[in-house]
Amino acid sequence: MVKKNGFSLLEAMITLAIVGTLISVGAGITIEANRYFMLSNAKVQLQEEGRSILYVITRNLRQAQSSTITLSRYSSSQPYYSQISFTTSQGTTMSFFQNGNLLEMQSGNMTKVLSKDLIYLAFTFPRSDDMNIISVSVTFQSGIYQGGSKALHMASEEVEVMN
């Protein structure tokens, strides 16, 4: 009896077919897992950014003198209620406004960018009988993959001005 070493052509072709199938399925699974990770990551970042920005806005609005609050817009390309200006109880003039995709805060002579992912910003008085309550609405958007994007809308109702 003669002992053979190596693989036959049939064994090699079956092995290649199995490996090729595994690679093609594995690539699709890897791509989908990567997309899910990018989407989840964008969502978490937008939520964290939104929470921290709403905290800054509401904390400062609570210190506003209600008689100094004015709603307007930064430029004609922005929604009308996309800027709020007021004077705090400490005498500091503050303003929050949308400038393109930027959310900016102006305190005295200093301007600071709070977000580069802003799509929509609006300040309104939800009740016509109480001008000490202000509603804040923001929408952020972040790119994810293949030109897609993830948007997050957050609204903070009833920010009560304390002064």
Q: How many whole angstroms separate alpha carbon 128 and alpha carbon 159?
A: 14
In terms of pTM, does the model score above 0.95? no
- Domain assignment present for residue 4? The answer is no
Tell me the pLDDT tens digit for each residue of 88-100.
888 899 999 998 8
Tell me the pLDDT tens digit for each residue of 52-103.
988 999 889 888 888 888 888 888 887 788 899 999 888 899 999 998 889 9
- Domain assignment present for residue 57? The answer is yes
- Domain assignment present for residue 5? The answer is no
- Domain assignment present for residue 38? The answer is yes
Q: Considering its fold, how many domains does the chain have in total?
A: 1
- Domain assignment present for residue 90? The answer is yes
Domain that holds residue 116: 12-160
